Amino acid sequence: MQSRTLLIASFFFILLLPLFSAENVVFEFPSFTLRNLTLLGDSHLREGVIGLTRELGVPTSSSGTVIYNYPIAFFDQETNVTASFSTRFSFSVDNVNPASFGDGLTFFISPNNQTLGSSGGYLGLVNSSQLTKNRFVAIEFDTKMDLHFNDPDENHVGLDIDSLISIKTANPMLWGIDMKSGNLINAWIDYKNGDKKLEVFLSYSSTKPVSPLLMVDIDLSEYLKEAMFVGFSASTEGSTELHYVDNWSFRTIGLHVARPRIAHNVSDATVPVRQPIPVSESGNRHHKKVGLGLGIAGPSFFCVGMLIFGFISVRRWRRMKSENHLKVELVTGPRQFSYKEIRVATKGFHPSRIIGTGGFGTVYKGFFMEIGSLSAVKRSKHTHEGKTEFMAELTVIAGLRHKNLVQLQGWCVEKGELLLIYEFMPNGSLDNLLHQSSEERDSLKWPYRYNIAIGLASVLTYLHQECEQQVIHRDIKTSNVLLDGSFNARLGDFGLARLMDHDKSPVSTLTAGTMGYLAPEYLQYGKATENTDVYSYGVVILELACGRRPIEREQDGRKMVNLVDWVWNLYYEGKILEAVDARLEGEFNEDEMRKLLLLGLSCANPDSASRPCMRRVFQILKNEAEPMTVPKVKPFLTFNSLLSIDDIVSDGEGRGSFGEARESFGEEMTSAVIDFDDEGSHSPQFEIKVL
């Protein structure tokens, strides 16, 4: 049926071509109907909004296009003038699963009113089997980095002409705009034929920005023919990404000054008039009975209501007292947000906004109109432990300032909720880039990896030696290393951090952290020092170099392999470079790689006294100090006391099942291997030998 309609439309278009006049065109769609639009592929209309791809809760491949029905003149043969044009529309890119992204949408101008391309990186604009078939001028809003088309990153805007290899691109994140946020984004595209210049503007606000996001000096006159069609396309491939266009206006400028041949406003402004509801009459006797009943029941209802009101008031007073008491404890630095602001920013804490979970609670992506930026909202559990971690994190990080720290923007204590608001990190966690979906995503390139190691060393030097009070993080791991838009390392999650005076000795506490990153002496004595952070840092940079988790199961699934032991064995055999991540495909600096691997072993030395301080680590990475000598054989460490399983249970994300270990080795062990499940992602292991 759809193909028959297109055939008829094409037939009439050919008949009308001789009558086609080059006049300025204006149209506007405050909302959409099917009257003036053609939907192709998986595109659909729902409640006045155009959806370009399938709305499914499971990953799928989809492609869709919407095209304005009528041809538009961009060139006047009589005057030999090419039109300028201006368009404005609002779009959003949402996702039921924030980890499933790609591929994006486009606004296009094409001589073909049946433009429909393939799914995936082809953006619904190009046919994968006939790459040069479709002709177009398009602005792409790309949400996936596809190396096949030389994409610079997974959040960019680009100008495409007859090819998806963009002539020029720009990153909206530099303007504080994340196209995958799910928020409504306003776009303006202006082409001025006189200046031979195309400009693209983006904003969360309805006010057009002063400066363009993308500006290209280009003459489009050879591509804009007499009759062209305008529309939108989008695609996904194995993703749950959704693409919507909410409104659209378009106009051409510079042709015949005439009454616009096409002027459509398709919004339905009719308002139904509600008819008055007839009220049936009743006798006086009925009214008297009702009045008597109310007279008897009224006082009873009043008493019950007062009791309920009193109960609710007391509960509210107690909760407010608790919240006010907590607020008195908080520092005055970061801003206090209202609970209402946070609910609006996170769409009522909608599941589609979840970007992380852990023992502390849940992290949501939020957009705050007042500050005009995306944020990460950390929603802690309001338990005694949750309050303790909340207070620890806020107290510690509020007074810290470093370029490699995640910036705290504010907090909120209302409705029984403990909420921290951080700046949003568009490239997620280092753990995600190194390990999750590694087959589908491009490997993190070596210059980024080395720079991450330097940035993390810099911020740990600051925490350990440059703050007024020394800060021991206690939970250094790749999932707590976040990456900004330029892949710079930002250390976050200070829920387990502790403040210490520089001249004070560490105090024994309950061992906390994540198995695989914990120093042996910390597991034994429970004393967190800067050396225990150094050990965790060493494991992290070995992950960076090798692309392996701290504890991994061998391919046959029978044995767990400790990363530190594995690299040290290769070093002993003189083959340390065989530990390098194969996904780098040999594209790395050999001297830097060797330095990073040996530095990782130095930091992860079982003998804490042999580990370097973070300042020395930073100087070695910056070539300001000589590398340390690493023994060929890993030092063997022993403890002279019995160790209980309960002493090494993590109170962070490392909680897991150890029933089998308890059954096999008993409550106290001379040699034990504890196998933690860590939320199903991997199975960390730490071997402790006790004499």
Residue 577, pLDDT score: 95
Residue 37, pLDDT score: 93
Domain parsing of the chain, residue ranges: 22-253, 335-423, 430-636
Query: Do 52 and 91 form a contact (C-beta atoms < 8 A)?
Result: no
Residue 353, pLDDT score: 85
Cα torsion angle, 25, 29, 32, 35, sign: negative
Per the annotation, binding residues are 378
- 120-146 burial by CB neighbour count: b if 16+ within 10 A, else e? bbbbbbbeeeeeeebbbbbbbbbbbbb
Q: Is the peptide bond before 178 cis (omega within 30 degrees of 0)?
A: no
Residue 651, pLDDT score: 36
Q: Which residue stretches of 261-369 are H helix?
A: 284-329, 339-345
The residue behind tokens 């009873």 is: 300
Q: Which helix (H) or strand (E) holds 541?
A: helix 530-546
Q: Which fold has domain 335-423?
A: Phosphorylase Kinase; domain 1 (3.30.200)
Q: What is the mean pLDDT of the chain?
A: 77
Torsion-angle region of residue 684: left (phi > 0), alpha (psi -120 to 50) or beta? beta
Name the amino acid, one letter, at 306. Answer: M
Q: Which of 178, 431, 475, 484 is catalytic?
A: 475
Does residue 190 have an active-site annotation? no
Same fold, 335-423 and 430-636: no
For strand 335-336 and strand 408-414, is the pairing parallel, antiparallel, or unpaired?
parallel
Q: Which helix (H) or strand (E) holds 665?
A: helix 659-665
Q: Is the peptide bond before 103 cis (omega within 30 degrees of 0)?
A: yes
Class of domain 430-636: mainly alpha
Per the annotation, binding residues for ATP are 378
Residue 60, pLDDT score: 85
Class of domain 22-253: mainly beta
Residue 112, pLDDT score: 87
- pLDDT tens digits, one per residue of 353-397: 888 776 667 889 888 877 667 788 988 765 555 566 666 667 667
Residue 500, pLDDT score: 54
In this prediction, the residues of the chain whose per-residue pLDDT falls under 70 are: 1-21, 98-99, 256-307, 309-333, 358-360, 371-372, 381-393, 395-396, 436-442, 494-513, 555-557, 637-691
Q: Please give the Cα distance from 219 to 74 (Å, whole number).
A: 13
